[in-house]
Amino acid sequence: MAASMAVAMESGIAIEATFVDTCLPAVDVSRRVVLAHGIDPDAHRFTVARAGDAPVPAQSQHLVEALGLLEGLSCDAAARAIAEAFAMVRPGGSLVLSVMLAGRPREIPSSPSRGPWDRCARSAS
């Protein structure tokens, strides 16, 4: 998301983002990723909240990106989480869901196009 924000800003499009996660370390990572893309993190909101308690008004977001939201949830809880995330999306907006795989490879091949993600991949191993 930060890369898309950087491209939008380079094109003269003003972006105001709210980053919500259930744990402070994840919010801190988001803040560092935003900064690594040349974006001032103080221009955006970073907050910790439980699923369903995000301080984001209904239908107010162009994009909601939910990484790991469904991890470990029952089918009923996952359905509620998806509904709550989708409720934040404004008409015509997008909801992106992703579940990171526990068995994913630890080493990610380096490539010039990876930018700051290359550093993240090396530090994760």
pLDDT score recorded for residue 25: 85
CB 85 within 8 A of CB 52: no
- Bridge partners (DSSP) listed for residue 46: 19
Predicted TM-score of the model (pTM) = 0.63
Residue predicted with more confidence, 11 or 55: 11
Select from 3.40.50, 3.10.620, 1.20.1070, 3.40.630 the CATH code of 2-124. Answer: 3.40.50
- CB contact at 8 A, 63 and 69: no
Return the SS3 of 61: strand
Domain ranges of the chain: 2-124
pLDDT beyond 60 at 80: yes
